[in-house]
Amino acid sequence: MSTIKGLSKSNTEFDGSGLRVCIIHARWNKTVIDALVAGAVAKLKERGVKESNIVIDSVPGSFELPLACSKVIAGSHVQAGSSAGDLLGLTFGGSSTSLSSKPAPGSETSVPPPTLVTMPNAPFDAVIAIGVLIKGSTMHFEYICDSVSHALMKLQVDTGVPVIFGVLTALTDDQALERAGLGRGSDKGHNHGEDWGLAAVEMGSKCKQWIEGRF
Ligand code: RBF
């Protein structure tokens, strides 16, 4: 049966080429997280956001997302104001892969050296918070869902920086998989990470316009 639910397409294709976006994701439920992050990145790039202007970092779980988003928003403003950074053209830790300064113990990946990029020091125009909460047998799910969603909303209203709500709150593993386009049945579902990438470009562009009094 068809449904009336869901996101309708915008009439405008927003241009992300002048935007800088940060993705912060939790590491719980990694299979689903990886697909959602990939979906978000694909749509950011499709809308023209440069790879060097996509910063990605992780936190342990969804409960850590609001604080992390708050700190990266603040840090990007500090970075934007830092004249040394301006002169050197330093990135916020590399480019579109990681903010982390050290490779994980035992990992062979090292953080690339600072590189010259087009827009290295601009404050983030949008932040995407990605987490996957799957209901268990205790009350953790309810507490984390409630506090994280409220904190992320408060953060975007307080800072004026769009914080995209990329937190899946699923009752079962299958619900989570389907919302990342990984469904185990014939219907694979839809990758909501793609919607979050598009939402970041739309909200980042619109907020830039609105703040200048252009409507
Ligand atoms: N974090 C998630 O991102 N998704 C989860 O489904 C999730 N479930 C949790 C269940 C329990 C019982 C606990 C203790 C933590 C869970 N967390 C989950 C981690 C949580 O977001 C946070 O990282 C930790 O509580 C440390 O602050």
What pLDDT is stored for residue 61 in this prediction? Answer: 98
C-beta of 144 in contact with ligand 1 (< 6 A)? yes
Q: Of 132, 135, 140, which is best to mutate to test ligand 1, by the most ligand atoms within 8 angstroms of its C-beta?
A: 140
Contact 203, 192 (CB under 8 A): no
- Phi and psi dihedrals of 104, rounded to 5? -65, 145
Q: Are 21 and 55 in contact (CB under 8 A)?
A: yes
Tell me what pLDDT residue 11 has.
Answer: 85
26 lines ligand 1 (CB under 6 A): yes
In one-letter notation, the amino acid at residue 105 is P
What distance in angstroms lies between residue 26's CA and the mean position of ligand 1's atoms?
9
What's the gap between Cα 6 and its chain centre? 20
Is 140 considered catalytic here?
yes
Tell whether ligand 1 has an atom less than 6 A from the beta carbon of residue 133.
yes
Backbone phi, psi, residue 169, to 5°: -120, 90
**DSSP annotation of 8:** P
Backbone angles phi and psi of 75, in degrees to 5: -65, -35
Span from the CA of 19 to the centroid of ligand 1 (angstroms): 31
Amino acid 163: pLDDT: 98
Question: What is the pTM (predicted TM-score) of this model?
Answer: 0.86
Q: Judge if the beta carbon of residue 21 lies within 6 A of ligand 1.
A: no
The predicted structure's pLDDT at residue 83? 46
Q: How far apart are CA 138 and CA 177, in angstroms?
A: 21
Instruction: Check pocket membership of 64 for ligand 1, CB cut-off 6 A.
Output: yes
Q: What kind and span of H or E run contains 163?
A: strand 163-170
Interior/surface letters 116-146, b for 16+ CB within 10 angstroms, e for the rest: ebebbbebbbbbbbbbbbbbeeeeebeebbe
Q: Could you tell me the mean pLDDT of each successive run of 10 residues in the chain, 215 residues long?
A: 83 94 98 98 98 98 98 95 55 47 50 52 96 96 97 98 98 98 96 98 97 95
Kindly report the protein residue whose alpha carbon is nearest to atom 8 of ligand 1. 133
Task: Tell me if residue 19 falls in helix, strand or coil.
Answer: coil
What residue's CA is closest to ligand 1, atom 6? 133
pLDDT at 5: 87
Does ligand 1 have an atom closer than 6 angstroms to the CB of 124? no
Looking at 140, 150, 190, 192, which residue is catalytic?
A: 140
Whether ligand 1 lies within 6 angstroms of the CB of 23 is answered as no
Atom 10 of ligand 1, nearest CA residue: 140
Find out whether 129 and 44 touch, Cβ atoms under 8 Å: no
Rg of the Cα trace of the chain?
17
pLDDT of residue 103: 52
